[in-house]
Amino acid sequence: MFFDEVKIYVKGGNGGDGCIAFRRERAVPFGGPSGGNGGTGGDVVLVVDPQLNTLISFKHRIHFKAERGGHGSGKDQQGKSAEDRLVPVPRGTVVYDAESGDLLADLTEPGERFVVASGGRGGRGNAAFTSPVHQAPRFAEHGEPGKERWLRLELKLIADVGVVGLPNAGKSTLLSVVSAAHPKIADYPFTTLQPNLGVVTVDGLESFVLADLPGLIEGAAGGAGLGHQFLRHVERTRLLIHLLDGAADDPLADYETINAELGRYSTRLAAKPQIVVLNKIDLPDAQAQWILVQKAMRTRGIEAWAISAVTGQGVRELMLRTFELLRSLPAPEPVAEAPVVLRPAVSDELFTIEREGAAWRVRGERVERIAVMTPFLVPEAAARFQRQLRAMGVVAALEAAGVRPGDRVRIGERELEWQR
């Protein structure tokens, strides 16, 4: 099975906790706070590995978590920041947010990196809260949790030329003849169950990448047959070799069928330049069909060739012509730099308040971050949390919404009782 789409879970490492400590040096009678900050959690990073060509590595493992940062310690020592968790992916991997469907990145270059889940920042130690009016704070922050999300990875093979056609047109045979690839070849339909890539060298000097794609049938764009799973892999190609079976009853009807499916799947596919190639020209029936194919393509202004992938007749000339056309085509469109975020950025200062059963729910990036990093069992920290909510306008907004003493207020995973 060709793994070209998978859903994975990623989570950045939590930040380390800040430390509560005080100096105890003999020569410093009024030492003061010395608790260090926690270290930053590791990021989860997708890295393009040119040695990979499928997403098969995600078959048995779909959860990826980075390590947490080290905790702060006394003497103002900061915790160690965690290493990033690197997740290798093949070239051509497109990254989507599984929940929103947003396009996040299109990874095409070897070694390219993209952070999909950032690690949490370390909590501040008590030394960070020292001020002229608060010289001995006895609290520190918890580390911030790392970001987490579900992603959908979709692979689109990167090839210069794609070979399309009905089952048993001879696509795999052609690839095996012109490259070192060894696709499975048999005389029954749907022999090819996964795309195959091969590097074609032209006269030992220049080369291009050729992709043999599973056979399409009528209705493929709507999900019929096997080929519909792989139509996306044609999207990155610059040129199509439309291979017709010379032994078929009506190769021209086959030609129309495949073009119709390409157009239903994507107008961009239908607009790609094509070379129409009649295969199995060594057979008498194919030679008779060749006359009809030539005439039909000439009226359409489309270039047509006749070859025999089995005997090699016309194959070298076809590859030379393919290379010439590739050189004349425009360079591939540059891929937009990642991340390509489709939704507008939202300020972390914004928050919303809504009813959630018998309680109130406060949502917002910053307010939830403050809540999860506050050690509520420490009175000083709880009082500081109240001051922060007031400064952000959360208290006023809750009162305007109708909160009453004794009501429960939920912020992130915290549930608090409202008091005045």
Whether the ω angle into residue 137 lies within 30 degrees of 0, i.e. cis, is no
Domain CATH code at residue 69: 2.70.210.12
Confidence of residue 215 (pLDDT cuts 50, 70, 90): low
pLDDT value of position 156: 76
pLDDT tens digits, one per residue of 33-55: 999 999 999 999 999 998 887 78
The predicted pLDDT at position 226 comes to 44
Domain count for the chain: 3
Q: Are residues 27 and 126 in the same domain?
A: yes
Taken in order 84, 89, 91, 96, is the CA torsion positive or negative?
Answer: negative
Give the rounded distance of the alpha carbon of 107 from its chain centre: 7
Whichever domain contains 295, its CATH number is 3.40.50.300
pLDDT band at 88 (very low <50, low <70, confident <90, very high): very high
- Cα 207 from Cα 189, distance rounded (Å): 30
Does 342 reside within a domain?
A: no
Task: Phi first, then psi: give them for residue 318, nearest 5 degrees.
Answer: -65, -45
User: Are residue 389 and residue 251 in the same domain, yes or no?
Assistant: no
Question: Quick one: average pLDDT of 374-390?
Answer: 92
* Domain-located, residue 38: yes
Number of Cβ atoms within 10 Å of the Cβ of 375? 17
- Whether 80 is in a domain gets the answer yes
On whether both 264 and 389 belong to a single domain, the answer is no
Closest CA to 364 of 342, 394, 337: 394
User: Does a structural domain hold residue 217?
Assistant: yes
Q: Which two tokens stand for residue 373?
A: 């990093």
pLDDT of residue 192: 42
Q: What percent of the chain has pLDDT over 90?
A: 44
125 and 168, same domain (yes or no): no
236 and 278 part of one domain: yes
| Residue 104 in this model has a pLDDT that exceeds 80 | yes
Indicate if the pLDDT at residue 174 is higher than 80: yes
pLDDT of residue 339 exceeding 80: no
Same domain, 182 and 314: yes
Residues 171, 104: one domain? no
| Beta strands 44-48; 85-89: pairing state | parallel
Q: Which of 137, 155, 173 is the last residue of a domain?
A: 155
Describe the strand order of the beta sheet including 113-117 as a list of residue ranges: 85-89, 44-48, 113-117
Domain identity same for 214 and 166 = yes
103 and 189, same domain (yes or no): no
Going by pLDDT thresholds of 50, 70 and 90, the confidence category of residue 230 is low
User: Residue 258: pLDDT above 90?
Assistant: no
Q: Indicate whether 187 pLDDT > 90.
A: no
181 with 149, same domain: the answer is no
* Residue 130 dihedral angles phi and psi, to the nearest 5°: -70, 135
Q: Give residue-wise pLDDT tens across range 12-27.
A: 999 999 999 998 777 7
Q: Which CATH number is 407's domain given? A: 3.30.300.350
**251: pLDDT strictly greater than 60:** yes
Q: Is 391 helix (H, G, I), strand (E, B) or coil?
A: helix
Q: Taking residues 372-392, what's their average pLDDT?
A: 92
Residue 172, Cβ density class (10 Å: 0-12 exposed, 13-18 middle, ≥19 buried): buried
State the residue range of the domain holding 24.
Answer: 1-155
**Does residue 130 fall inside a structural domain?**
yes
Choosing from 128, 155, 182, the residue where a domain stops is 155
Report whether pLDDT(335) > 70. no
The length of the chain, given as a count of residues: 420
Host H or E run for residue 278: strand 274-279
Alpha helices in 250-314 (DSSP H): 251-265, 267-271, 284-300
Phi, psi at residue 240, to the nearest 5°?
Answer: -115, 135
- Most confident residue range from 191-195, 224-228, 312-316: 312-316
Domain termination residue (choose one: 117, 137, 155): 155
User: Is residue 334 in a domain?
Assistant: no
Q: Are residue 177 and residue 245 in the same domain, yes or no?
A: yes
Element housing 113 (H / E): strand 113-117
Does residue 54 sit in the same domain as residue 171? no
Q: What is the pLDDT of residue 228?
A: 47
> Average pLDDT, whole number, for the chain?
83
Count the neighbouring beta carbons within 10 Å of the beta carbon of residue 60. Answer: 6
The pLDDT of 90-100, averaged and rounded, is: 89
Euclidean distance between CA atoms 386 and 380, whole angstroms: 10
Is residue 244 included in any domain, yes or no? Answer: yes
Residue 300 makes CB contacts below 8 A (sequence gap 6+) with none
Asked, for residue 335, whether it belongs to a domain, the answer is no
Sheet of strand 408-411: strand arrangement: 352-356, 359-363, 408-411, 414-417
